[in-house]
Chain A
Amino acid sequence: MNLKITEQKRVSRPDIAFCLIREEGTRRVFFGSSDAKIHTLDLTDEKPEDGAFESDQGHQSYITGLAMARPGVLVSGSYDRQLAWWDCKKRSLIRKLPAHEKWIRKVVSSPNGKLIASVADDMVCRLWNSTTGELHAELSGHAPITPHDFPSMLYTCAFSPDGQVLATADKTGQIVIWDIASKKQITTLEAPIMYTWDPRARRHSIGGIRSLAFSPDGKSLAVGGMGKVGNIDHLGGQARIEVFNWEKQESIAAIETGSVKGLIQCLAFHPDGNWLLGCGGDGKGCAVLIDPAKWEIAVELQTQYHIHDFLLNESSDEIFAAGHQSIGTLGIEAV
């Protein structure tokens, strides 16, 4: 696999961008911010002009999840526990509802666009009708307390490409696979190395599974986080990706980076399964390209900024990234 990743455009900002959506067929992105607002930029512009969604009824804390409910309508989730539906064109609020008891960590839409899934630190995944906002299902299966008597966190979720299965993953490294039709658990998987509990020196924890992605055929599930950490004051572990055949509950691969460190915050497979991309970081950022033929790292890049979320363009040769005080693009090209 002869590919390279290069950092291209970077728009510096005072805030932190946690999640990202792109208007299909364009280079206009919408992102959720630490200033509790949704912002939009057109990355085609040499100096993109920031546009914020303004509303007196908007979010009150970090916006950490964004999903497209249908063309022109965004759904945002926030640490303020609320989900909000927005008209992209008018940049105005359509509805807002109390969705969870604790921080919402991730919001995704189903492949057919009919459902919105939200996960939160109340350790529940809720499925919502993307059009009406009505609650469709409640999926509870993650322990609310860690084995060390502290509150756990439900960080991420992902739909399978056919939309029939949903995966959710938590701080302690537990993954639950759900059948969407029956709203029941299918199976569970474990990636415990991604959770570091320090019982002696510092007596708290760090880590957790931060990202999930199904392969295009839906058979493999990639899981992103960080390996074991010695000094949990910092994101000092190697970035880590594990891959499972979830139906067989088999581990396929466990990959750790060489030079770059930190959390893998987001994952995506190439649409044809040619590669798996993970981005995240520690005090700086990282992008890691995995060759699925060997489950080895093909490209490992330290980026200028910690990347919290990314999306691929239609041809999978451009990465749109949201991160620490930055929105930007990276290119993937053959060498």
Chain B
Amino acid sequence: MNPESTQFCRPNEHDISRRAFLAHSLAVGSGTLIGTSGAVHALDEDGLNAALRHSGKSVILLWLAGGSSQLETWDPKPGRLTGGPFLTIPTSVPGVHISELMPKMAKRMHKMTVIRSLDTKDGGHGTAAETMLRGRKNEAAQLYPDLGSIIAKEFERRDSKVPGYVSFYSQTEGRRNTGATPAFLGARYAPMILNDGMKPANISRLESITEVDHRDRAELHKLLSARFARSRDTETVKSHASAYAKVHGLMSSESLFDITQEPKWVRDQYGPGQFAQQTLMARRMVESGVPFVRVGRAWWDSHGQNFETHAEMVPELDHVMATLMDDLEQRGMLDSTLVCAFGEFGRTPKINASLGRDHFASAWSAAMFGCGLQPGAVYGKTDEDGMTVAENPVGPGELFATILKAVGLEPEKEYYSGSRPIPLVNPGIHPIPDLLS
């Protein structure tokens, strides 16, 4: 354990032993699965507040922006001209093979849930991203909240001082395509966007203000606000008070955003890359009560040199997903955390003259693991060349409904936009029972 851990994670806070996680480190490298150990709480009374400990479900979305290739990951087509050059490897689920670029996930396939039959019909980056993050297209007169906003609304504690929805997207390409908006749910459920680092700007207490002054100011504000609110019981006043409390909470939880508070051996286990470190940060946040974290990993848009790009990026994804799975399991968080990995679409089976693959939304894959899912399930099938869905087509709505159901939400649940009832998914859309535990 890192002896430098200070107010956020003290040395005795984590009831996971270094030896156990190191053993697990070897497991990530070798693929050998080691048993789990006890749960970990990153927060304690001295850190933020015991009340902040997360009691609900969380979702981590590894957003593979630009569109990763299903053929180089979850749905390879060996021996076909569309299949590309990568070989396939067997997985821990008998009869299921995936790309050789994912040996670590292959050994954990029995804990994965994979859909191989997404037919989402939209090959444009912006509109497809919008759809995949909402399970449906926005309408001209009705914008819908994205997954993160819904999860934040449903699982954020009312008194929480940590954000309900955090979004990392450090690359610039495709950032505007993300469409992460709460729509009618209101700004409270908008994402905290961390594009240029892993810490929000300006949350450090000014050096010119002492800790005592800072606390006293907060108390004074609380007193005056309560007096003001007594005769003005409106949503606006409540929202203001809530926002102020959240900002103050964020200031007191500054160390939440400090990756160096994680022991070095944990950081090393995830690896040095930006995606790896942000995924570790996502785990840290979920552990601390943040219901939804999206880690954007751009940019998979391999119109040229698809195989070189995937040879570079898929091993990173393989390692990061495997490490996250093991880490969540070791901490006892896999039953309360759902991890999804997909982007706005997949890539064409046809290989173009630049040895690239282009946008393709007709037959592609998504991968998930964690709470509420049927482990080891591989759902749907594409034809022998990967050109069409051969069995069990899944649209964006079905995927969205399945994610909601997996974390315990009823997709038919209705919100209200003004007086209009808005179900979480469009009428007639249902979760996929075969994917749910």
A contact residues vs B (CB 8 Å cutoff): 14-16, 34-36, 60-62, 79-80, 103, 121, 149-151, 153, 200-206, 208, 232-236, 262, 281-285, 305-306, 324-325
Cross-chain contact A206 with B299 (CB below 8 angstroms): no
The answer, among B81, B304, B312, B354, for a CB contact under 8 Å with A150, is B312
The answer, among A34, A233, A282, A305, for a CB contact under 8 Å with B81, is A34
**Which residue from chain B places its CB closest to the CB of A208 in the assembled complex?**
B308
**B348 → chain A, closest Cβ, in Å?**
14
Given A34-B85, A79-B85, A103-B85, check contact A283 B171 (CB 8 Å): no
Cross-chain contact B298 with A203 (CB below 8 angstroms): yes
The answer, among A80, A203, A281, for a CB contact under 8 Å with B353, is A281
Cross-chain contact B273 with A233 (CB below 8 angstroms): no
| Interface positions of B from 327 to 356, Cβ below 8 Å from A | 351-356
Cross-chain contact A149 with B313 (CB below 8 angstroms): no
The answer, among B87, B171, B272, B316, for a CB contact under 8 Å with A60, is B87
Which residues on A sit within 8 Å (CB–CB) of B297? 203
**A278 → chain B, closest Cβ, in Å?**
17
Q: Is B303 an interface residue (CB 8 A)?
A: yes
Given A202-B301, A283-B304, output 8 extra A-B contacts at Cβ < 8 Å. A34-B351, A79-B85, A103-B311, A151-B311, A201-B299, A203-B298, A204-B309, A282-B353
The answer, among B66, B85, B171, B356, for a CB contact under 8 Å with A234, is B356
Q: Is B302 an interface residue (CB 8 A)?
A: yes
Cross-chain contact A204 with B312 (CB below 8 angstroms): yes
Q: How far is the CA of A15 from the CA of B83 in the complex (A)?
A: 12
Cross-chain contact B353 with A306 (CB below 8 angstroms): yes
**Which residue from chain B places its CB closest to the CB of A79 in the assembled complex?**
B85
**B76 → chain A, closest Cβ, in Å?**
11
Q: Give the interface SS of chain B, mostly helix, strand, loop or mixed.
A: loop
Cross-chain contact B299 with A324 (CB below 8 angstroms): no
**A237 → chain B, closest Cβ, in Å?**
10
| Interface positions of B from 289 to 320, Cβ below 8 Å from A | 297-299, 301-305, 308-309, 311-313, 315-316
Q: Is B379 an interface residue (CB 8 A)?
A: no
Cross-chain contact A235 with B316 (CB below 8 angstroms): no
**B89 → chain A, closest Cβ, in Å?**
12
Q: Is B86 an interface residue (CB 8 A)?
A: yes
Cross-chain contact A35 with B81 (CB below 8 angstroms): yes
Q: Is B173 an interface residue (CB 8 A)?
A: yes
The answer, among B79, B275, B305, B315, for a CB contact under 8 Å with A151, is B315
Q: Is B30 an interface residue (CB 8 A)?
A: no
Given A203-B299, A204-B299, check contact A149 B87 (CB 8 Å): no
Q: How far is the CA of A148 from the CA of B78 in the complex (A)?
A: 30
Which residues on B sit within 8 Å (CB–CB) of A34? 81, 85, 351
Cross-chain contact B299 with A235 (CB below 8 angstroms): no
**B123 → chain A, closest Cβ, in Å?**
15
Which residues on A sit within 8 Å (CB–CB) of B87? 60-61, 79-80
Cross-chain contact B304 with A206 (CB below 8 angstroms): yes
Cross-chain contact B308 with A149 (CB below 8 angstroms): no
Q: Is B208 an interface residue (CB 8 A)?
A: no
Given A62-B85, A80-B87, check contact A234 B354 (CB 8 Å): yes
Convert B271-290 into 0s and 1s, putting 1 for each residue whose CB lies closer than 8 angstroms to a CB of A.
11111000000000000000
**Which residue from chain A places its CB closest to the CB of B78 in the assembled complex?**
A60
**A258 → chain B, closest Cβ, in Å?**
19
Cross-chain contact B308 with A200 (CB below 8 angstroms): no
Given A34-B81, A203-B299, A204-B313, check contact A153 B308 (CB 8 Å): yes
Q: How far is the CA of A236 from the CA of B303 in the complex (A)?
A: 11
**B272 → chain A, closest Cβ, in Å?**
5
Q: How far is the CA of A14 from the CA of B356 in the complex (A)?
A: 16
**Which residue from chain A places its CB closest to the CB of B316 in the assembled complex?**
A150
**A263 → chain B, closest Cβ, in Å?**
9
Which residues on B sit within 8 Å (CB–CB) of A233? 66, 299, 301-304
Cross-chain contact A282 with B304 (CB below 8 angstroms): yes
Which residues on A sit within 8 Å (CB–CB) of B79? 36, 60
Which residues on B sit within 8 Å (CB–CB) of A234? 303-304, 354, 356
Q: Is B210 an interface residue (CB 8 A)?
A: no
Q: How far is the CA of A235 from the CA of B308 in the complex (A)?
A: 12
Which residues on A sit within 8 Å (CB–CB) of B273? 149
Q: How far is the CA of A233 from the CA of B78 in the complex (A)?
A: 25
Q: How far is the CA of A285 from the CA of B355 in the complex (A)?
A: 12
Q: How far is the CA of A208 from the CA of B274 in the complex (A)?
A: 23
Cross-chain contact B85 with A200 (CB below 8 angstroms): no
The answer, among B81, B85, B170, for a CB contact under 8 Å with A61, is B85
Q: Is B419 an interface residue (CB 8 A)?
A: no
**B79 → chain A, closest Cβ, in Å?**
8
**B100 → chain A, closest Cβ, in Å?**
10
What are 11 contact pairs spanning A and B, CB under 8 A? Answer: A34-B85, A36-B79, A61-B85, A153-B308, A201-B171, A201-B173, A203-B297, A204-B313, A233-B66, A281-B353, A284-B353
Which residues on A sit within 8 Å (CB–CB) of B78? 60
Which residues on B sit within 8 Å (CB–CB) of A325? 353
Q: Is B172 an interface residue (CB 8 A)?
A: yes
Top 6 closest pairs, chain A to chain B, by CB: A202-B299, A235-B304, A62-B85, A324-B353, A201-B173, A79-B85
Q: How far is the CA of A325 from the CA of B81 in the complex (A)?
A: 11
Cross-chain contact A203 with B171 (CB below 8 angstroms): yes
Which residues on A sit within 8 Å (CB–CB) of B313? 150, 204
Residue from the set B172, B311, B352, B354 with the largest chain A CB neighbour count within 10 Å: B354
Which residues on A sit within 8 Å (CB–CB) of B173? 201-202
**A30 → chain B, closest Cβ, in Å?**
19
Residue from the set A14, A60, A80, A202 with the largest chain B CB neighbour count within 10 Å: A202
**Which residue from chain A places its CB closest to the CB of B82 in the assembled complex?**
A34
Cross-chain contact B354 with A283 (CB below 8 angstroms): yes
**Which residue from chain A places its CB closest to the CB of B310 in the assembled complex?**
A204
**B223 → chain A, closest Cβ, in Å?**
47
**B173 → chain A, closest Cβ, in Å?**
4
Q: How far is the CA of A179 from the CA of B274 in the complex (A)?
A: 40
Which residues on A sit within 8 Å (CB–CB) of B85? 34, 61-62, 79, 103
**Which residue from chain A places its CB closest to the CB of B301 in the assembled complex?**
A233
Q: How far is the CA of A204 from the CA of B172 in the complex (A)?
A: 12
**Which residue from chain A places its CB closest to the CB of B352 in the assembled complex?**
A283
Which residues on A sit within 8 Å (CB–CB) of B309? 204, 206
**Which residue from chain A places its CB closest to the CB of B315 in the assembled complex?**
A151
Which residues on B sit within 8 Å (CB–CB) of A236? 304
Q: How far is the CA of A202 from the CA of B298 in the complex (A)?
A: 6
Residue from the set A80, A200, A208, A235 with the largest chain B CB neighbour count within 10 Å: A235
**A99 → chain B, closest Cβ, in Å?**
15
Given A61-B86, A103-B85, A200-B171, check contact A153 B311 (CB 8 Å): yes
**B125 → chain A, closest Cβ, in Å?**
11
| Interface positions of B from 344 to 384, Cβ below 8 Å from A | 351-356
Cross-chain contact A206 with B305 (CB below 8 angstroms): yes
Which residues on A sit within 8 Å (CB–CB) of B171? 200-203
Q: How far is the CA of A235 from the CA of B274 in the complex (A)?
A: 25
**Which residue from chain A places its CB closest to the CB of B173 in the assembled complex?**
A201
Which residues on A sit within 8 Å (CB–CB) of B275? 203
**Which residue from chain B places its CB closest to the CB of A15 in the assembled complex?**
B81
